[in-house]
Amino acid sequence: MTADQNVPVPPGWVGGFSTSDPAFAYPDPDLSSLPLLENMANIDLLDRQQAVLWPEFSWETVPGTPSSRAYSMFAPDISRVGYTDRGRVYSVICPQQGTCSPSLGTLNIEVSVTGQRGWVDEPSREVAADITVEGKVWFSPSATQNPLVKAVWDAFAQSGRPFPHDKVHAIRVPIHRQGEETDVLPGRSGQTTSFPIPAFAQHGDEAWAVANLEAQISPIRATGDWLVDEFNGLVMDAFNLSSGNLLAPGNVLTWNVWFTEPALVDREEWREHAEKWRRSIDACHGSPDGDGSPPRYFDGTPFVPDPFAVETERETIEAFVATRLA
């Protein structure tokens, strides 16, 4: 890191949790002795936090083709890690982003943290945290202006079928560790070394610290309703077309999270912040510091969906409306 090394640690830091078990130590922290805790169950234990002002994600827009790799910063200043004065992690607020599908309008994505465990050490600026996550995709309210979306939404509402109109009813995408069956993802200090990172996706001159995670995408979780599942599959096809296969099954999603300096936690503010973003980025409020960045290749060239594929996808969705909802 090249951030100002003289930024003082806020008062109250005690530390010690990171060294309470020899297995926790780098270079390969083993946190398996800690239970994976529900993410919002221990807010009253939080004393300190680090905000993620720069959540930088990366993936291959053509899976298996390294030259197709894209980079995108999700919406800033939503995600945080919260911990005690000793450094035990008890809560992680997850990143979100929106993307515009030419076929369906605005879709939102969140990498939802379902469980966590770990430690932070402020003097060394290190963190080791395991998390379990799930991808969620849902329509922004503005998408109802799209005739195709409105037709499906109205038809599903009349039949009592669930429609992914908010995060509660989102399309759910299981995520697991690359090449393994476990869904526990290790978050470790430093940037990923799996691929080159362009200058526009690095924030070492501004950030306090950085950590990275990597995950592999699974097929969407079925709802048990064949019509809903068919539509959700079409939505994910459109989403992956517009985002460059961000959540395509089998693809690998990597993110570097760049933290601001530690701060003290106002527990009530933490609850309000978490509740606000639990309802999601689309609830008539954007990220506190503006939107994230659209996908770009290493040289800064924007990712642009294939217009012929977009038209084919639109025709497929129109056929679904005509044949399934007539």
Asked if residue 3 is part of any domain, the answer here is no
Asked if residue 9 is part of any domain, the answer here is no
Asked if residue 22 is part of any domain, the answer here is yes
Asked if residue 8 is part of any domain, the answer here is no
3-class secondary-structure state, position 164: coil
- Domain with 249, as residue range(s), is 17-293+301-324
pLDDT reported for residue 325: 85
Planar angle of CA 40, 42, 46, nearest 5 degrees: 110
Asked if residue 94 is part of any domain, the answer here is yes
pLDDT reported for residue 181: 84
Asked if residue 237 is part of any domain, the answer here is yes
Calpha distance 59→296 (Å, rounded):
11
Peptide bond into 219 cis (omega under 30): no
Count of structural domains, the chain: 1
Calpha distance 150→145 (Å, rounded):
7
Give the start-end residues of each E strand in the chain.
37-38, 48-60, 69-73, 80-83, 89-93, 96-101, 105-121, 126-139, 171-176, 184-189, 209-217, 252-259, 263-264, 296-297
Q: At what angle do helices 307-324 and 226-243 cross, to 10 degrees?
A: 170
Extract the tokens encoding 217: 């995408």
- Beta bridge partners of residue 189, listed in sequence order: 211
Extract the tokens encoding 211: 């950590």
Q: At what angle do helices 147-159 and 307-324 cross, to 10 degrees?
A: 30
In tens digits, what is the pLDDT along the chain, a chain of 326 residues?
Answer: 444 456 677 899 999 999 999 999 999 999 999 999 998 889 999 999 999 999 999 999 999 999 999 999 988 877 899 999 999 999 998 766 667 777 787 888 877 888 999 999 999 999 999 999 898 888 887 777 888 888 888 888 888 998 898 888 899 999 999 988 899 999 999 999 999 999 999 999 999 999 999 999 999 999 999 999 999 999 999 889 988 999 999 999 999 999 999 999 999 888 776 666 555 444 333 444 446 788 999 999 999 998 888 889 889 988 998 998 87
Q: Is 10 exposed, middle or buried (0-12, 13-18, 19+ CB in 10 A)?
A: middle
Asked if residue 88 is part of any domain, the answer here is yes
Asked if residue 10 is part of any domain, the answer here is no
Which residue in 92, 97, 57, 106 sits closest to 75, CA to CA?
Answer: 97
Which residue in 156, 167, 54 sits closest to 107, CA to CA?
Answer: 167
pTM over 0.85: yes
pLDDT reported for residue 284: 37
